[in-house]
Amino acid sequence: DGYIIVYSIIDRRSYQKAVEILYSIRESNDKPIIVVANKSDLERSRIVGKEEGRTLAEMYNSKYIDVSAILNHKVDDLLVGILKQVRLNQQNAALL
């Protein structure tokens, strides 16, 4: 199991909602999470900076990636990344 939390880089409210979701997930479990900044194709209109996203992910012991779903930019990297995190988490759990 793992989580992908997506927000739009051009919508501050979606970022704030992502923060709330991350907080509630981390309160109850330690499953892998990837924070996804979507709409990287709209970089010129960016409201939520990359550093904000990276810092948020670090605060919640998560990974971070910028993607553009419409252009399919880095979407494969995202899917491979969450799969790797889930497998690593499963291996660590088996060792305990």
Pull the structure tokens for residue 1.
């199991």
Alpha helices in 1-96 (DSSP H): 12-28, 50-59, 75-95
pLDDT in tens, 22-65: 999 999 888 999 999 999 999 999 999 999 999 999 999 999 99
Q: What Rg, from alpha-carbon coordinates, does the chain have?
A: 14
Torsion angles phi and psi, residue 89, rounded to 5: -65, -40
pTM here is 0.90
For residue 1, the model assigns a pLDDT of: 87
Q: Which of 61, 56, 71, 68 is CA-nearest to residue 19? A: 56
Q: Structural domains in the chain?
A: 3-91 (3.40.50.300)
For residue 69, the model assigns a pLDDT of: 96
